[in-house]
Amino acid sequence: MSLITVRNGYETTDGLAARENLHRAFSAGGQNFRAWELQCLKWVIERSKIVVDVAAGRGSFWTNALTQRSIEWRKKTLIACDVSPAMTQVLAGLAPNRLLAVRCSMDDLPFKSESIDLLICHSALHYSTDPLQAINGFLKALSANGHVSIVVSGIGNMQELHDFFELGRYGVDLSERPLMRFNEVQMDALVQSISFPIEVATKVVWDSALRIDEAPPVVEYFASHPEVSAAKMFLEIRRDLLHRLNERLRADGSISVRRRQCHYLISR
C-alpha cells in the first residue's frame, strides 16, 4: 500500500465549532456520535490506568467522557495531545486538575515504550504524514494488554453534501482533503501492513442519516474548511452556496445526508 503525505490539520480552533455543530445533529438509534465513541471504549477505559488521546483537537471526546460519573477518572492518568499551540491551550483549560495537555505530534510521540494502556486517535489519523508509521508508533507505546482506539470516516461519509458543493465548480477541490483521501478503505488495507503482531479486536460502524432543511448550517460547515476559507473568492462562494442550497431546499424540502464512522480497537 502506498502512503501519501497529507497537509497539516487545523492550526487554530477557528471553524471547528461549525463542523461539530453539524455533526452533532446526526444520531443513530437515538445515540449521537460522542455517546457512541465512548460506548465503544468504556470497558477499555475502566481497566486502563494511563489513557492518552493524540491529535485531540479541542477535546470534544473529553468534554463528553468526563461527565460519565460511573468511570473512576480520579484513579487514572489522562493526557490529551495536539501539535497545535492553540488546540493545546484549549485542552489545558478543559479539566486542569484531571486532564494533562501536551503539545506533540502523533507522528513523534514523547512517551516511553510500553507505557500507555489506552491510546486514542479519533477522527485524526488522516492528518498524519505517514499513518502506518504513526500506528506502529502507537503500538510501540502500548503496555502489555494495551489497546489503540482509532476512528476514521467510513465509505460515503457526508458524500451528498460534498457532491452538491462540487456542482458549484468553485475551483476548490475538496477531494484532495486528507479526510477524503484516508478513510475506511485505506484503514482496512493499512491494518494488514502493521509491523507489530496485532489483533483487531473490533471494528464497529456508526451509520447515521440526517434530513437537513436549513441552508446556514451547511454553508458554515463548508466555510470552516481551510481550503474554502482560504480561497480568493471565499465571499462569492459563500453567497452562491447559500443561494443554491436555498433553491434546492425550496424544490425538495430537505437534503438527506449520510454520516458513517468506523471504530477500530486494536491490541498487540
Residue given cell 490529551 in the structure block = 80
Rounded to 5 degrees, what angle do the CA atoms 82, 84, 86 make? 110
Confidence band (pLDDT; 50, 70, 90) for 241?
very high
Overall residue count recorded for the chain in this entry: 268
Distance separating alpha carbons of residues 102 and 78, to the nearest angstrom: 11
**Tens digits of per-residue pLDDT, 148-182?**
999 999 999 999 999 999 999 999 988 767 666 78
Topology (CATH level 3) of domain 16-158+174-209+258-267:
Rossmann fold (3.40.50)
Rounded to 5 degrees, what angle do the CA atoms 209, 215, 217 make? 70
Would you say 221 and 237 are in contact if contact means Cβ atoms under 8 Å apart? no
Confidence band (pLDDT; 50, 70, 90) for 18?
confident
Confidence band (pLDDT; 50, 70, 90) for 48?
very high
The grid coordinates of residue 210 equal: 440526517
How many separate helices (H) and strands (E) can be counted in the chain?
11, 9
Q: For 9-18, 39-48, 145-154, which range has the lowest pLDDT when averaged over its residues?
A: 9-18
Amino acid at the residue 71: I
For 26-51, give the DSSP string: -EETTEEHHHHHHHHHHHHHHH-SEE
Mean of per-residue pLDDT scores for the chain: 90
Own/partner contacts of 46-49, CB < 8 Å, gap of 24 or more, are 46/71, 46/72, 47/117, 48/76, 48/117, 48/118, 48/146, 48/147, 49/75, 49/76, 49/77, 49/117
Distance separating alpha carbons of residues 260 and 184, to the nearest angstrom: 9
DSSP 111: P
Distance separating alpha carbons of residues 175 and 173, to the nearest angstrom: 5
139: part of which helix (H) or strand (E)? Answer: helix 131-141
Distance separating alpha carbons of residues 31 and 155, to the nearest angstrom: 20
CB-neighbour burial class of residue 264 (10 A; exposed 0-12, middle 13-18, buried 19+): buried
**Tens digits of per-residue pLDDT, 200-227?**
878 999 999 999 999 999 999 999 888 8
Residue given cell 483487531 in the structure block = 200
Would you say 267 and 198 are in contact if contact means Cβ atoms under 8 Å apart? yes
Distance separating alpha carbons of residues 157 and 228, to the nearest angstrom: 19
Q: Name the pTM for this structure.
A: 0.91
Query: In the chain, where are the structural domains located?
Result: 16-158+174-209+258-267
DSSP 230: T
Would you say 80 and 113 are in contact if contact means Cβ atoms under 8 Å apart? no
Region 12-29: what's the mean pLDDT?
Answer: 83
